[in-house]
A and B are shown apart, each in its own frame.
Chain A
Amino acid sequence: DAGVIQSPRHEVTEMGQEVTLRCKPISGHNSLFWYRQTMMRGLELLIYFNNNVPIDDSGMPEDRFSAKMPNASFSTLKIQPSEPRDSAVYFCASSFSEQGELFFGEGSRLTVL
């Protein structure tokens, strides 16, 4: 299996622009997680889906952030409008079940100028 695939790997954008991050989970996994990692705050759970349904989005910072999972093999995390404080590495992870072993993608490094 190719593992969890994220794109883009790097994104540099200007404040106010829309950013869309993409994730393809491991085939057969039914839980998908979006995390954000910064030096100051470490790894933070933003939102997770089970069977394509958002279960917990309490970690989403504010209304500028939204996430969708239209089918079992694709998810997006959108930031609109982006701000410099959104600069971080965003990870997608998937697992066979909500409590199962978690597998991470390589991350999308976002820089908002």
Chain B
Amino acid sequence: KQEVTQIPAALSVPEGENLVLNCSFTDSAIYNLQWFRQDPGKGLTSLLLIQSSQREQTSGRLNASLDKSSGRSTLYIAASQPGDSATYLCAVYNNNDMRFGAGTRLTVKP
């Protein structure tokens, strides 16, 4: 059974810093991995989708990488801004099932 872990659970950084969020999974036979952002009281917003054949995806200041063999993905946020404050979740799809991590709560201080 796939298990998805996100470390750290919470992270606080000053504005302008570059940061990395981590996601690990136990079963490397995945179809894809998706990163989401969730603001308080809101739904999940898709940030990046990485197919199993890809190594990374980029969107603006965000870059997500995937290393299936080691069961890891990272989300890199460049030049963080207070508006980036949210909970970031990764989700892994395999065997007709999508498993979510518990998320990393990010606070970017002005």
Contact = CB atoms under 8 A, between A and B. Distances in A.
Nearest to B93: A99
Interface string B45-67: 11001000000000000000000
Interface residues of B, number: 20
Interface of B: 31-32, 34, 36, 42-46, 49, 89, 91, 93, 96-98, 100-103
Interface residues of A, number: 18
B34 A56 contact: no
Contacts, number: 40
Q: Secondary structure at chain A's binding surface: helix, strand, loop or mixed?
A: strand
Contact of A91 (B44, B49, B98): B44
Contacts of A91: 43-44
Interface of A: 4, 33, 42-43, 45, 55-56, 91, 93, 98-99, 101-107
